[in-house]
Amino acid sequence: FKHDIFTGRNVLITAGPTREDIDPVRFISNHSSGKMAYALAEAAVEAGARVTLVSGPVSIDKPGRVKTIDVISAQQMHDAVQENIEGVDIFIGCAAVSDYRPVEILKDKIKKDPNNTEEILELKLVRNPDIAASVAALDNPPFVIGFAAETRNVIEYAANKMQKKGMNMIVANDVSDKSIGFSSDVNEVTILAEGLQKTLPRASKKVLARKILSVASRGYHKWKRE
């Protein structure tokens, strides 16, 4: 791991889950811990970058020497990214963004049906903006790196996702294996880019973060020259 691969570069990383309120006491979210993204932020600082971290609600310590912007919902994460994207050289979408949010946030707590006869409660959801895809679609986009958590056909689905979202590189991991991913301290990933498929064996998220950035820097500098 070289300490100058991102010297002078601006890196923006999304982290953690998003939280979509249903009513004043309930929300929809997911199991993302933010560990992978925070490890990437630390490694990017070590690599010489100026790092902005746009983070959903997580319970881990903030990395040092990083500008962290705390957000809750996907819409807030989207807006914070758009407000801070100017001058960004490398965007890393590591957040597990909720794909949908409730159509409306109810002002009052949802009450059980008074007669207790209804077994089904329907919740209407609307799609959230795709943060990474909207960055890749900018006029003068940064190098965009995404993450793909899959339970089957990992490589194929990740490759499709990268193409569909206009990403330059994608880091795929198999979340059907409970010992890796999400809250775990270790992970095992395959990096895909045009003409590249590289599997990084099981390691701590800290070690993987450095390896991912080494591969990413080669991709970034090649892309920059084209």
- The single residue among 5, 15, 53, 148 that binds ligand C5P, judged by CB under 6 A, is 148
Contact between 11 and ligand C5P by CB under 6 A: the answer reads no
Contact between 132 and ligand C5P by CB under 6 A: the answer reads yes
- The single residue among 10, 52, 128, 217 that binds ligand C5P, judged by CB under 6 A, is 128
Asked if residue 99 belongs to a known ligand binding site, the reply is yes
Q: Kindly name the residue from 30, 153, 160, 168 that is annotated as catalytic.
A: 30
* Nearest to ligand C5P of 48, 57 (CB atom): 57
- The single residue among 147, 189, 193, 209 that binds ligand C5P, judged by CB under 6 A, is 147
Contact between 161 and ligand C5P by CB under 6 A: the answer reads yes
Asked if residue 147 belongs to a known ligand binding site, the reply is yes
> What's the closest the beta carbon of residue 113 comes to ligand C5P, in angstroms?
33
Q: What is the 3-class SS of the chain, one letter each residue?
A: CCCCCCCCCEEEEEECECCEECCCCCEECCCCCCHHHHHHHHHHHHCCCEEEEEECCCCCCCCCCCEEEECCCHHHHHHHHHHCCCCCCEEEECCECCCEEECCCCCCCCCCCCCCCCCCCCCCEEECCCHHHHHHCCCCCCEEEEEEEECCCHHHHHHHHHHHCCCCEEEEEECCCCCCCCCCCEEEEEEEECCEEEEEEEEEHHHHHHHHHHHHHHHHHHHHHC
Query: Which long-range CB contacts under 8 A does 159-163 form with residues at least 24 apart?
Result: 159/192, 162/192, 162/193
Asked if residue 94 belongs to a known ligand binding site, the reply is yes
187 has catalytic annotation: no
Asked if residue 15 belongs to a known ligand binding site, the reply is no
How big is the site for ligand C5P, counted in residues (CB under 6 A)?
A: 15
Site for ligand C5P in 61-100 (CB under 6 A): 74, 93-95, 97, 99
Asked if residue 49 belongs to a known ligand binding site, the reply is no
Contact between 13 and ligand C5P by CB under 6 A: the answer reads no
What residues line the site for ligand C5P (CB under 6 A)?
14, 74, 93-95, 97, 99, 128, 130-132, 146-148, 161
Positions at the binding site for CTP: 93-95, 99, 109, 147, 161, 165
Which sequence positions are flagged as catalytic? 30
